[in-house]
Amino acid sequence: MSYNLLKGKRGIIFGALDENSIAWKTAERVHEEGGKFVLTNAPVALRMGAINELAKKTGSEVIPADATSFEDLQNLVDKSVEILGGKLDFVLHSIGMSVNVRKGRHYTDLKPDWTAKGWDISAVSFHKVMQTLYKSDAMNEWGSIVALTYMAAQRVFPDYNDMADNKAYLESIARSFGYFFGRDKKVRVNTISQSPTPTTAGQGVKGFSGFIKYAEEMSPLGNATADDCADYTVTLFSDLTKRVTLQNLYNDGGFSNMGVSEKVMDRFEDEE
């Protein structure tokens, strides 16, 4: 169902890789709600993914950009404003990568240069994106910037590895830069802390399928899907949330406020 919540709005969506990715689902929903956007991803990800299919479906252009490169980001922002015919109203940052996770390094044995690379891609890139938008004055007043995060920023999930540190840093950047973006440009900045979601990126984390089942049994409403996250992101891009900023918003079926659920307790009762 479409409510035309984003009619006339323009933006950039980072990180759509394939139809399992949250950015992909968000692009589809933004399109349904009347929003226009440019799609972007790292050149290597563009070769791996099927983003051209999404571009065709949503009438969008694709601009390759390494989100850790100021030069690439400046080109992306300038071209997006030109293609879309004006300043931007929304930006989705859906980027995350850990070399340590990919190479199977345990958290107690991280390689610092791998850690630095993952930190740059997963967290510092968000600052670089906002710095470019801010200095270029590329956002309309009451625009909305959203980054995707995970609750490992607050609590221990052993196999999430150094991505937990990256997400904590990402959330801090959202608050700190969000203050200046709000004060100076009337732009809001928030993060969505999503349920564990079976995306291509998420499935790289060890023990992920077991954790999805656990979270499902812990959450009173069950896990939020990628489609649920896309819907929530649309509300944050819309004018209905004009004064929501500097927030880390949980879209997780209630998991973040649970201590234990009866379903989970029943498993341990059975073992007695």
State the pLDDT at residue 205: 67
Contact yes or no for 128/70 (Cβ under 8 A)? yes
- Give the whole-number percent of the chain exceeding pLDDT 70: 97
Could you tell me which residue, 3 or 1, shows the higher pLDDT?
A: 3
Contact yes or no for 30/3 (Cβ under 8 A)? no
Please give the average per-residue pLDDT across 209-229, as a whole number.
95
Span 63-85, pLDDT tens digits: 999 999 999 999 999 999 999 99
> DSSP characters for 20-49?
TSHHHHHHHHHHHTT-EEEEE--HHHHHHS
The helix-helix angle for 112-119 and 163-185 (nearest 10°) equals: 30
State the pLDDT at residue 199: 79
Instruction: Give residue 121's pLDDT band: very low, low, confident or very high (50, 70, 90).
Output: very high
Q: State yes or no: is 160 an active-site residue.
A: yes
Span 127-143, pLDDT tens digits: 999 999 999 999 999 99
Q: State yes or no: is 150 an active-site residue.
A: yes
Please pick, among 150, 214, 232, 250, the residue that the annotation labels catalytic.
Answer: 150
State the pLDDT at residue 213: 94
Q: Which residue has the tokens 């995060």?
A: 149
Instruction: Please state whether beta strands 88-93 and 188-194 pair in parallel, antiparallel, or not at all (unpaired).
Output: unpaired
- Token output for 93: 């940052």
Instruction: Give residue 228's pLDDT band: very low, low, confident or very high (50, 70, 90).
Output: very high
Enumerate the β-bridge partners of residue 46. none
Enumerate the β-bridge partners of residue 249. 192
Span 161-198, pLDDT tens digits: 999 999 999 999 999 999 999 999 999 999 999 999 98
- Token output for 251: 């879209």
State the pLDDT at residue 270: 62
CA distance 115 to 98: 7
Provide the strand spans (E) within 66-138: 88-93
Say whether 95 counts as a known binding-site residue: yes
The helix-helix angle for 226-237 and 22-32 (nearest 10°) equals: 50
State the pLDDT at residue 94: 98
Say whether 167 counts as a known binding-site residue: yes
Q: Which residue has the tokens 């990800």?
A: 45
How crowded is residue 35: how many other Cβ atoms within 10 Å of its Cβ? 26
Cα 193 to the chain's mean position, in Å? 9
Please give the average per-residue pLDDT across 234-263, as a whole number.
98
Say whether 21 counts as a known binding-site residue: yes
Provide φ and ψ at 154, rounded to 5°: -110, -30
CA distance 62 to 114: 28
> How far is the CA of 204 from the CAs of 63, 103, 201, 208, 252, in angstroms?
26, 10, 6, 8, 20
Q: Is 113 helix (H, G, I), strand (E, B) or coil?
A: helix
Q: Per-residue pLDDT for 46 more than 90? A: no
Please pick, among 3, 107, 134, 160, the residue that the annotation labels catalytic.
Answer: 160
Please give the average per-residue pLDDT across 210-229, as a whole number.
96
State the pLDDT at residue 272: 56
Where does 10-271 sit in CATH, by number? 3.40.50.720
